[in-house]
Amino acid sequence: MPIIPPSLLKLQQLFGDAISMPLELIDDDANFRMREEEYDSEILKLLLPREDLGLTAADRLATYNQQYWFRLLSTMQEEYPLLARLMGVRVFAELVMDYLQQFPSSSVSLRALSRLLVTYMSMSSTYNRTQWVQAAELEYLYIHAFDAAQLPVLDLSLLTEAQQEAQLTDSLVFQPHFRLFVEDSNLVELRMIAGHEKDPEAALLIPAHVKHHWAIYRQNNHVQAEALGPLQYQLLDHLQQGLSLEHAVEQIASNVDTHTQQFLEERLAMWFNHWRTLGWFAGATDDSSPQ
């Protein structure tokens, strides 16, 4: 295995530091300037000017610097259209640059770019606002749902009578792309608007305070959001934690009044069949385990 000379490693480090230098945002429309005065003089000496194009070494480095951030910012805007519209283009750009300075991506895939974004926002005094963090959580669920694996769906017609009965007492296996989400504002609705308009510079979206429960999942290569009642959400949450359907129902029933118990019993079969037809449950395999 060839040994990389220390001088080359240093050059790579200097170049990487220069092209990842954050942009300086100069107004609320996120117009910017490059911080060319902060480029290391050593890398500028090594980068030849392009006199035929009228470019100095600093100009050339600034071009790479701009391309670097344009690529990352455009990727994050595509993945987080709602968050961009809630924050405004300048604050969103500041968030992305601050976040990636703290948690630079170590993956060759841009899909992993925002893996720690919610963690970073939750730790930040600047960005830790409930609606912003919830929006980031929701949009990461969309990213996860789009990328996650798809297992064979649960098909009761392929099971024996004993296996069908076991669905009541065994833990159910969910599709890897299935997740539950609770919102305190109408974020799912607003994300549909932001995703349709695809314009991070449009007017800010103002959430309304409502509480909704959702299932986020993928169907036919599209990420979907299915509204849930609180009781449905509670049941699915128990199932995702590994409780059997039988035990999940018993646990809920022990904490609600008689009327709610009756409602649960009446709706249970309908709910389960609906969720199954949506493909939320995976068929059992030898190496399956509750997700």
CATH number at residue 210: 3.90.930
DSSP SS3 for 95 = helix
**Could you tell me which residues come within 8 angstroms of residue 13 by beta carbon, excluding any fewer than 6 positions away?**
none
| 160 and 70 part of one domain | no
In the listed set 75, 94, 128, which residue is the last one of a domain according to the structure? Answer: 75
| 174 and 270 part of one domain | yes
| 174 and 276 part of one domain | yes
| 155 and 46 part of one domain | no
The confidence score (pLDDT) of residue 46 equals 75
For the CA atoms of 161, 162, 167, 171, the dihedral, rounded to the nearest 10 degrees, stands at -160
Are the beta carbons of 272 and 258 closer than 8 angstroms? no
d(CA 290, CA 176): 9
Section 144-170 average pLDDT: 92
Contacts 24+ apart (CB under 8 A), 9-16: 11/43, 11/46, 14/40, 14/42, 14/43, 15/43
**Mean pLDDT in the chain?**
90
Number of structural domains, the chain? 2
Query: Does a structural domain hold residue 49?
Result: yes
- Give the pLDDT confidence of 41-69 residue by residue, as tens digits: 888 887 777 877 778 889 989 999 999 99
Listed range (53-57, 82-86, 95-99, 188-192) with the worst mean pLDDT? 53-57
Query: Does a structural domain hold residue 251?
Result: yes
In the listed set 23, 43, 75, which residue is the last one of a domain according to the structure? Answer: 75
Query: Does a structural domain hold residue 87?
Result: no
Query: Does a structural domain hold residue 85?
Result: no
d(CA 130, CA 182): 12
| 169 and 263 part of one domain | yes
Query: Does a structural domain hold residue 172?
Result: yes
Query: Does a structural domain hold residue 103?
Result: no
| 56 and 170 part of one domain | no
- Give the pLDDT confidence of 280-289 residue by residue, as tens digits: 999 865 444 4
The whole domain housing 181 covers 151-282
Query: Does a structural domain hold residue 264?
Result: yes
Query: Does a structural domain hold residue 56?
Result: yes
Count of Cβ atoms closer than 10 Å to residue 151 Cβ: 19
In the listed set 56, 75, 94, which residue is the last one of a domain according to the structure? Answer: 75
